[in-house]
């Protein structure tokens, strides 16, 4: 069987240097965006770890400590929440971009935890424009969920939504506010005024004291100070010098506040466009947009999920794939691969490459259903329905593909996969509508089938 097709070409770029009037600037660099193509937990941490070992900067552009990215290095497991996976790679500068919401307490707990295991976090840089999550955001997250009752989102309870709401309402507190105490106090007073009314009068909860909150934020000021900078300038100057940057998006396309299954979404834009906004890198500088997608589907939290399984097959995927949340430890909802979601994610992000993870989990299943379209009230949908009601009522139309029993964890080239696994991957590539460049066959850093070596492409840039 021929290898996967490699539909999307690597990006052509002008490389005239030094610049003359009217010529394009040096583009001898790589800017790679990584985004989840489903509802999260696709294996973004692992993909970042593999590619991030060959870049100069790894930037987290969105989300906060709602993310849980697992990296397995030499058999040792690391679960990263607020920090980008690049923190584990020597010589990489890890960056927390302006689009991230930072819980300072969680940040330093995570840093302390990693340093106690020998990691060096001193290179970390944090955007002065990133917003800060306060304890009041977490309280509001929890009480709002309780009040929503049956319509609750099933958030991670980390205060992410309320913090982004303050940002958009223009009453948020940013990292740079830590360095001007009088501004910080004014902003804390401003933001607590309405929140305390809400908490006390509507939710019957105690008010937050301004002094206590100012002290809470200032507690971390001296420790964070050496890390704070203009990260957009840092990253763009690096690109100008021909260095490479990888953006590790948290969450995933179907959780995007604009493009996901609203309102069952997170409150940021975990898509390729969002990564540009959240890092301050312009879209014309992006050279690769890599979609991470599981060979089946999972979701944590509430919301529609057409291919969800409620029988023993779902239980099988959960147990075989160890599908339990990193942040909240909740069991993940499991279902078959959804080609409609895959095609939608490729469209929204303009993926140049796909990294399909966890193919090994499907080994041993006799016939594997793959969703190729939906049926809603007798009508066929080959693309994502535009209306949320249609999506809620979507019934998967399955194609049955033959399974394989051979152990695939040792496969490193496409030819080493059993024929039926190759056929499965060919069909997934067709459904995704862009080339598959990596296939994960185990959690370890090296457990992958490599079809297009992006590391070589990055180095060749």
* Closest to ligand IMO by CB, 66 or 279: 66
Residue 328: CB minimum distance to ligand IMO, A: 7
Catalytic, 41? Answer yes
Is 440 an interacting residue with respect to ligand GDP (CB under 6 A)? yes
Question: Per the residue annotation, which of 54, 69, 137, 259 is the catalytic one?
Answer: 69
Tell which residue, 245, 246, 266, 242, has the closest CA to residue 256: 266
Helix, coil or strand: residue 59: strand
Of 13-21, 125-133, 157-165, 398-406: span binding ligand IMO (CB under 6 A): 157-165
- Contact with ligand IMO (CB under 6 A) among 153, 293, 425, 431: 153
* Closest to ligand GDP by CB, 158 or 243: 158
Q: Which residues contact 379 (CB under 8 A, 6 or more apart)?
A: none
Catalytic, 9? Answer no
Residue 405: CB minimum distance to Mg ion, A: 29
- Contact with ligand IMO (CB under 6 A) among 48, 155, 261, 434: 155
Is 68 an interacting residue with respect to Mg ion (CB under 5 A)? yes
Residues 12-41 that bind ligand GDP (CB under 6 A): 36, 40-41
Distance CA 100, CA 167 (A): 11
Of 100-108, 155-163, 237-245, 340-348: span binding ligand IMO (CB under 6 A): 155-163
* Closest to ligand GDP by CB, 237 or 413: 413
CB atoms within 10 A of CB 91: 9
- Contact with ligand GDP (CB under 6 A) among 326, 373, 450, 455: 326
* Closest to ligand IMO by CB, 134 or 397: 134
Structure tokens at 22: 């009217």
Q: Determine the size of the site formed for ligand IMO (CB under 6 A).
A: 22
Helix, strand, coil shares of the chain as percentages rounded to 5? 35, 20, 40
Is 41 an interacting residue with respect to Mg ion (CB under 5 A)? yes
Tell which residue, 428, 425, 284, 424, has the closest CA to residue 350: 284
Distance CA 273, CA 404 (A): 38
Query: What is the DSSP secondary structure assignment for residue 189, as one 8-state letter?
Result: H
Find out whether 263 and 6 touch, Cβ atoms under 8 Å: no
Q: What are the b/e assignments for 159-174, b being 16+ CB within 10 Å?
A: bbbbbbbbbeeeebbb
Tell which residue, 3, 6, 48, 13, has the closest CA to residue 290: 48
Q: Please calculate the CA angle 98-457-349 and round it to the nearest 5 degrees.
A: 45
Distance CA 314, CA 308 (A): 8
Find out whether 435 and 8 touch, Cβ atoms under 8 Å: yes
Distance CA 156, CA 141 (A): 9
* Closest to ligand IMO by CB, 37 or 408: 37
Query: What is the DSSP secondary structure assignment for residue 256, as one 8-state letter?
Result: -
Residue 301 contact among ligand IMO, Mg ion, ligand GDP, none, beta carbon within 5 to 8 Å by kind: ligand IMO
φ, ψ of residue 385 in degrees (nearest 5): -60, 145
Of 176-184, 248-256, 391-399, 420-428: span binding ligand IMO (CB under 6 A): 248-256
Write the interaction track for ligand GDP spanning residues 327-366; mark x where CB under 6 A is met and - where it is not: ------------------------------xx-xx-----
User: Which residue is associated with the tokens 């870049």?
Assistant: 55
* Closest to ligand IMO by CB, 166 or 457: 166
φ, ψ of residue 115 in degrees (nearest 5): -65, -35
* Closest to ligand GDP by CB, 144 or 363: 363
Structure tokens at 222: 């001296």
Is 67 an interacting residue with respect to ligand IMO (CB under 6 A)? yes
Question: Per the residue annotation, which of 41, 166, 256, 360 is the catalytic one?
Answer: 41
Q: Where along the sequence are the contacts to Mg ion (CB under 5 A)? A: 41, 68, 326
Q: Which parts of this chain interact with ligand GDP (CB under 6 A)? A: 36, 40-46, 68-70, 72, 322, 326, 357-358, 360-361, 440-443
Residues that bind ligand IMO (CB under 6 A): 36, 40-41, 66-69, 153-156, 158, 160-161, 250-252, 255, 266-267, 300-301
Which residues are known to be catalytic? 41, 69
């Amino acid at each position: 069987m021929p290898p996967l097709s490699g539909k999307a070409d690597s990006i052509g770029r002008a490389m005239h240097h030094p610049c003359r009037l009217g010529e394009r600037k040096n583009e001898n660099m790589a800017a790679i965006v990584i985004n989840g193509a489903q509802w999260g937990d696709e294996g973004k941490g692992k993909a970042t770890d593999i590619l991030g070992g060959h870049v100069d900067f790894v930037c987290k552009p969105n989300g906060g400590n709602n993310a849980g990215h697992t990296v397995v290095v030499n058999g040792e497991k690391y679960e990263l929440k607020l920090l980008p996976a690049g923190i584990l790679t020597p010589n990489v500068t890890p960056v927390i971009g302006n689009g991230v919401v930072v819980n300072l307490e969680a940040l330093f707990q995570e840093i302390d935890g990693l340093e106690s295991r020998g990691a060096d976090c001193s290179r970390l840089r944090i955007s002065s424009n990133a917003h800060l999550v306060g304890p009041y955001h977490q309280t509001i997250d929890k009480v709002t969920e309780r009040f929503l009752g049956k319509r609750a989102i099933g958030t991670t309870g980390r205060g992410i939504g309320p913090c982004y709401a303050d940002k958009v309402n223009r009453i948020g507190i940013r990292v740079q506010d830590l360095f001007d105490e009088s501004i910080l106090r004014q902003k804390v007073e401003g933001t607590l005024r309405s929140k305390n009314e809400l908490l006390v009068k509507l939710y019957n909860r105690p008010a937050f004291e301004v002094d206590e909150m100012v002290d809470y934020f200032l507690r971390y000021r001296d420790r964070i100070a050496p890390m704070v900078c203009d990260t957009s300038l840092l990253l763009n100057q690096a690109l100008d010098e021909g260095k490479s940057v990888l953006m590790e998006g948290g969450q995933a396309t179907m959780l995007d506040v604009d493009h996901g299954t609203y309102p069952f979404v997170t409150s940021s834009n975990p898509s390729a466009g969002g990564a540009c906004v959240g890092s301050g890198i312009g879209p014309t500088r992006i050279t690769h947009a890599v979609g991470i997608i599981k060979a089946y589907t999972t979701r944590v939290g509430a919301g529609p999920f057409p291919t969800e399984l409620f029988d023993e097959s779902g239980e099988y995927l959960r147990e075989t794939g160890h599908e339990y949340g990193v942040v909240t430890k909740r069991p993940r909802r499991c279902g078959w691969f959804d080609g409609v979601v895959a095609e939608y994610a490729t469209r929204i992000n303009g993926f140049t490459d796909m990294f399909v993870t966890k193919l090994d989990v499907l080994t041993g299943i006799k016939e594997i259903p793959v969703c190729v379209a939906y049926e809603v009230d007798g009508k066929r949908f080959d693309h994502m329905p535009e209306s949320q009601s249609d999506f809620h009522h979507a019934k998967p139309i399955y194609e049955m593909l033959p399974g394989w029993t051979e152990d695939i964890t040792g496969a490193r080239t496409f030819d080493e996969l059993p024929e039926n696994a190759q056929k499965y991957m060919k069909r997934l590539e067709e459904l995704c509508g862009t080339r598959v460049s990596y296939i994960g066959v185990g959690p370890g850093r090296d457990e992958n089938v490599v079809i297009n070596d992006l590391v070589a492409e990055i180095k060749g840039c």
